[in-house]
Amino acid sequence: MEIVVVGRHTEVADRFRRHAEDKLAKIEQLAPSAQRVDVEVTHENNPRQSGIRERVELTVRDKGPVVRAEAAADDRFGALDLAMNKLTERLRRANDRRKNRFRHPAPMDTADVRPYEPPLPPVTPEPTSPSDPGETVETQLGDSPVVIRQKLHTAEAMSIDDALYEMEMVGHDFFLFIDSETARPSVAYRRRGWTYGVIALDTSCSLEAAALAAAAASSD
Protein backbone atom coordinates (compact mmCIF):
# COMPACT_ATOMS: atom_id res chain seq x y z
CA MET A 1 0.00 0.00 0.00
CA GLU A 2 1.43 3.35 -1.06
CA ILE A 3 1.27 6.30 1.34
CA VAL A 4 1.68 9.77 -0.19
CA VAL A 5 2.10 12.80 2.10
CA VAL A 6 1.81 16.29 0.58
CA GLY A 7 1.52 19.81 1.98
CA ARG A 8 -0.65 22.68 0.75
CA HIS A 9 0.89 26.08 1.51
CA THR A 10 3.25 24.41 3.98
CA GLU A 11 6.34 22.20 4.22
CA VAL A 12 6.03 18.68 5.67
CA ALA A 13 8.94 17.54 7.83
CA ASP A 14 10.37 14.02 7.55
CA ARG A 15 9.45 13.39 11.20
CA PHE A 16 5.76 13.89 10.44
CA ARG A 17 6.01 11.77 7.29
CA ARG A 18 7.45 8.84 9.25
CA HIS A 19 4.84 9.27 11.99
CA ALA A 20 2.00 9.31 9.43
CA GLU A 21 3.35 6.24 7.64
CA ASP A 22 3.59 4.30 10.92
CA LYS A 23 -0.01 5.14 11.91
CA LEU A 24 -1.49 4.58 8.45
CA ALA A 25 0.14 1.18 8.11
CA LYS A 26 -2.66 -0.12 10.37
CA ILE A 27 -5.21 0.69 7.65
CA GLU A 28 -4.30 -2.51 5.81
CA GLN A 29 -6.03 -4.47 8.57
CA LEU A 30 -9.36 -2.77 7.76
CA ALA A 31 -8.79 -2.27 4.03
CA PRO A 32 -6.49 -5.08 2.82
CA SER A 33 -7.10 -4.22 -0.84
CA ALA A 34 -6.31 -0.52 -0.41
CA GLN A 35 -3.85 0.59 -3.06
CA ARG A 36 -2.99 4.07 -1.84
CA VAL A 37 -3.55 6.51 1.02
CA ASP A 38 -3.21 10.25 0.37
CA VAL A 39 -2.33 12.53 3.28
CA GLU A 40 -2.83 16.26 2.66
CA VAL A 41 -1.60 18.74 5.28
CA THR A 42 -2.83 22.34 5.19
CA HIS A 43 -1.60 25.22 7.34
CA GLU A 44 -3.89 28.14 8.20
CA ASN A 45 -2.01 31.43 8.58
CA ASN A 46 -4.93 33.32 10.11
CA PRO A 47 -4.01 33.96 13.80
CA ARG A 48 -7.72 34.00 14.71
CA GLN A 49 -7.88 30.32 13.80
CA SER A 50 -4.88 29.20 15.82
CA GLY A 51 -6.91 26.41 17.42
CA ILE A 52 -7.49 24.80 14.03
CA ARG A 53 -4.47 26.08 12.16
CA GLU A 54 -3.34 22.60 11.08
CA ARG A 55 -5.68 20.48 8.93
CA VAL A 56 -5.04 16.90 7.84
CA GLU A 57 -7.12 15.11 5.18
CA LEU A 58 -6.83 11.34 4.68
CA THR A 59 -8.10 9.61 1.53
CA VAL A 60 -8.08 5.81 1.08
CA ARG A 61 -8.23 4.71 -2.55
CA ASP A 62 -9.55 1.18 -2.77
CA LYS A 63 -11.34 -0.93 -5.37
CA GLY A 64 -14.62 0.21 -3.85
CA PRO A 65 -15.76 3.74 -2.94
CA VAL A 66 -13.23 6.30 -1.80
CA VAL A 67 -13.14 6.71 1.98
CA ARG A 68 -12.06 10.12 3.30
CA ALA A 69 -11.71 11.82 6.68
CA GLU A 70 -10.32 15.16 7.79
CA ALA A 71 -9.73 17.00 11.05
CA ALA A 72 -8.14 20.21 12.33
CA ALA A 73 -6.20 21.00 15.50
CA ASP A 74 -3.54 23.37 16.82
CA ASP A 75 -0.80 20.99 15.60
CA ARG A 76 -0.70 18.53 12.71
CA PHE A 77 0.08 15.51 14.88
CA GLY A 78 -3.14 16.04 16.83
CA ALA A 79 -5.07 16.64 13.61
CA LEU A 80 -3.69 13.38 12.22
CA ASP A 81 -4.88 11.46 15.29
CA LEU A 82 -8.40 12.94 15.03
CA ALA A 83 -8.61 12.24 11.29
CA MET A 84 -7.30 8.69 11.83
CA ASN A 85 -10.07 8.00 14.37
CA LYS A 86 -12.74 9.16 11.90
CA LEU A 87 -11.17 7.16 9.08
CA THR A 88 -11.01 3.98 11.14
CA GLU A 89 -14.69 4.26 12.04
CA ARG A 90 -15.71 4.77 8.40
CA LEU A 91 -13.62 1.82 7.25
CA ARG A 92 -15.31 -0.39 9.88
CA ARG A 93 -18.72 0.76 8.64
CA ALA A 94 -17.69 0.00 5.06
CA ASN A 95 -16.63 -3.51 6.08
CA ASP A 96 -19.93 -4.10 7.89
CA ARG A 97 -21.87 -2.96 4.84
CA ARG A 98 -19.94 -5.32 2.56
CA LYS A 99 -20.58 -8.24 4.94
CA ASN A 100 -24.32 -7.50 5.07
CA ARG A 101 -24.53 -7.32 1.28
CA PHE A 102 -22.72 -10.62 0.97
CA ARG A 103 -25.19 -12.29 3.32
CA HIS A 104 -28.24 -10.64 1.73
CA PRO A 105 -27.38 -9.97 -1.93
CA ALA A 106 -29.69 -7.62 -3.81
CA PRO A 107 -31.76 -9.14 -6.65
CA MET A 108 -30.18 -8.73 -10.05
CA ASP A 109 -31.93 -6.32 -12.38
CA THR A 110 -31.99 -7.82 -15.86
CA ALA A 111 -33.62 -4.78 -17.47
CA ASP A 112 -31.82 -3.31 -20.42
CA VAL A 113 -30.43 -0.15 -18.83
CA ARG A 114 -28.02 1.86 -20.90
CA PRO A 115 -25.10 3.21 -18.86
CA TYR A 116 -24.93 6.94 -18.44
CA GLU A 117 -22.63 8.58 -20.97
CA PRO A 118 -21.33 11.97 -19.83
CA PRO A 119 -21.36 14.71 -22.48
CA LEU A 120 -18.22 15.24 -24.50
CA PRO A 121 -15.98 18.05 -23.25
CA PRO A 122 -15.98 21.29 -25.26
CA VAL A 123 -13.57 21.58 -28.15
CA THR A 124 -11.80 24.57 -26.60
CA PRO A 125 -11.93 24.13 -22.80
CA GLU A 126 -11.17 27.01 -20.51
CA PRO A 127 -7.52 26.87 -19.44
CA THR A 128 -8.57 27.57 -15.84
CA SER A 129 -10.85 24.52 -15.63
CA PRO A 130 -9.73 20.94 -14.87
CA SER A 131 -9.68 18.65 -17.90
CA ASP A 132 -8.74 15.28 -16.37
CA PRO A 133 -10.62 13.35 -13.63
CA GLY A 134 -9.08 14.02 -10.24
CA GLU A 135 -7.39 17.22 -11.42
CA THR A 136 -7.82 20.28 -9.18
CA VAL A 137 -7.54 23.89 -10.40
CA GLU A 138 -7.67 27.00 -8.22
CA THR A 139 -8.53 30.38 -9.75
CA GLN A 140 -8.89 33.85 -8.25
CA LEU A 141 -11.71 36.20 -9.22
CA GLY A 142 -9.91 39.24 -10.57
CA ASP A 143 -8.36 41.35 -7.83
CA SER A 144 -10.73 40.05 -5.16
CA PRO A 145 -9.56 37.65 -2.39
CA VAL A 146 -12.12 35.07 -3.55
CA VAL A 147 -10.49 31.80 -4.64
CA ILE A 148 -12.50 29.09 -6.43
CA ARG A 149 -11.27 25.51 -6.30
CA GLN A 150 -12.56 23.26 -9.10
CA LYS A 151 -12.21 19.49 -9.32
CA LEU A 152 -13.37 17.11 -12.05
CA HIS A 153 -14.92 13.76 -11.09
CA THR A 154 -16.13 10.85 -13.18
CA ALA A 155 -19.90 10.28 -13.08
CA GLU A 156 -21.30 6.89 -12.08
CA ALA A 157 -24.88 5.69 -12.10
CA MET A 158 -26.01 4.46 -8.66
CA SER A 159 -29.03 4.21 -6.41
CA ILE A 160 -29.91 6.87 -3.85
CA ASP A 161 -29.00 4.42 -1.07
CA ASP A 162 -25.51 3.93 -2.52
CA ALA A 163 -25.10 7.70 -2.96
CA LEU A 164 -25.93 8.32 0.72
CA TYR A 165 -23.49 5.58 1.71
CA GLU A 166 -20.65 7.07 -0.33
CA MET A 167 -21.44 10.54 1.04
CA GLU A 168 -21.05 9.19 4.57
CA MET A 169 -17.79 7.49 3.62
CA VAL A 170 -16.16 10.73 2.44
CA GLY A 171 -17.64 12.74 5.32
CA HIS A 172 -19.23 15.41 3.13
CA ASP A 173 -22.57 17.16 3.51
CA PHE A 174 -23.47 16.53 -0.13
CA PHE A 175 -22.74 14.05 -2.93
CA LEU A 176 -23.17 14.36 -6.72
CA PHE A 177 -24.21 11.28 -8.68
CA ILE A 178 -26.29 9.94 -11.58
CA ASP A 179 -29.54 8.34 -10.39
CA SER A 180 -29.59 4.81 -11.87
CA GLU A 181 -33.41 4.78 -11.94
CA THR A 182 -33.95 8.09 -13.74
CA ALA A 183 -30.51 8.67 -15.36
CA ARG A 184 -30.72 12.26 -14.06
CA PRO A 185 -27.82 14.20 -12.54
CA SER A 186 -28.66 14.43 -8.83
CA VAL A 187 -27.24 15.66 -5.54
CA ALA A 188 -27.86 14.12 -2.13
CA TYR A 189 -27.42 16.37 0.89
CA ARG A 190 -27.61 16.14 4.66
CA ARG A 191 -30.48 17.78 6.55
CA ARG A 192 -31.20 17.91 10.27
CA GLY A 193 -30.79 14.77 12.32
CA TRP A 194 -30.99 11.57 10.27
CA THR A 195 -32.86 13.09 7.34
CA TYR A 196 -31.48 13.62 3.87
CA GLY A 197 -32.59 15.40 0.72
CA VAL A 198 -32.10 14.68 -2.98
CA ILE A 199 -32.27 17.24 -5.80
CA ALA A 200 -32.36 16.06 -9.43
CA LEU A 201 -31.92 18.00 -12.67
CA ASP A 202 -34.40 17.63 -15.52
CA THR A 203 -32.17 17.76 -18.60
CA SER A 204 -35.03 17.19 -21.08
CA CYS A 205 -35.59 20.96 -21.44
CA SER A 206 -31.95 21.60 -22.33
CA LEU A 207 -31.98 18.69 -24.79
CA GLU A 208 -35.13 20.03 -26.47
CA ALA A 209 -33.57 23.50 -26.69
CA ALA A 210 -30.44 22.03 -28.28
CA ALA A 211 -32.54 20.10 -30.80
CA LEU A 212 -34.50 23.25 -31.74
CA ALA A 213 -31.29 25.22 -32.11
CA ALA A 214 -29.81 22.54 -34.37
CA ALA A 215 -32.98 22.46 -36.49
CA ALA A 216 -32.95 26.23 -36.83
CA ALA A 217 -29.28 26.24 -37.85
CA SER A 218 -29.83 23.54 -40.51
CA SER A 219 -32.71 25.51 -42.05
CA ASP A 220 -30.63 28.66 -42.57
Per-residue pLDDT tens digits for 123-167: 444 446 666 776 667 776 666 677 777 877 777 788 888 888 888
pLDDT of residue 124: 46
Q: Is residue 33 part of a domain?
A: yes
pLDDT of residue 61: 86
Q: Is residue 78 part of a domain?
A: yes
pLDDT of residue 82: 93
Do 165 and 96 share a structural domain? Answer: no
pLDDT of residue 16: 93
Q: Is residue 107 part of a domain?
A: no
CA distances from 126 to 68, 139, 144, 164 (A): 29, 12, 20, 32
Do 151 and 85 share a structural domain? Answer: no
User: How long a stretch of residues is the chain?
Assistant: 220
CATH (domain of 181): 3.30.505.50
Q: Does the pLDDT of residue 83 top 50, yes or no?
A: yes
Q: What's the pLDDT band for 217 if we cut at 50, 70, 90?
A: low
Q: Does the pLDDT of residue 122 top 60, yes or no?
A: no
pLDDT of residue 119: 64
Do 145 and 88 share a structural domain? Answer: no
Helix residue ranges, H only, the chain: 14-24, 27-30, 76-103, 160-170, 204-219
pLDDT of residue 126: 47
Q: At what angle do helices 76-103 and 160-170 cross, to 10 degrees?
A: 150
Do 203 and 144 share a structural domain? Answer: yes
Q: Does the pLDDT of residue 1 top 60, yes or no?
A: yes
Do 96 and 142 share a structural domain? Answer: no
Residue 140 domain boundaries: 135-217
Domain count, the chain: 2
pLDDT of residue 19: 93
Do 93 and 11 share a structural domain? Answer: yes
Q: Does the pLDDT of residue 59 top 80, yes or no?
A: yes
Per-residue pLDDT tens digits for 15-38: 999 999 999 988 888 888 888 899
Do 81 and 7 share a structural domain? Answer: yes
Q: Is residue 119 part of a domain?
A: no
> Are 36 and 4 spatial neighbours (Cβ–Cβ below 8 Å)?
yes
Q: Is residue 123 part of a domain?
A: no
> Are 36 and 70 spatial neighbours (Cβ–Cβ below 8 Å)?
no
Q: Is residue 41 part of a domain?
A: yes
Q: Is residue 124 part of a domain?
A: no
pLDDT of residue 127: 47
- For residue 193, the SS3 value is coil
The one-letter amino acid at 44:
E
Q: Is residue 175 part of a domain?
A: yes
pLDDT of residue 39: 93
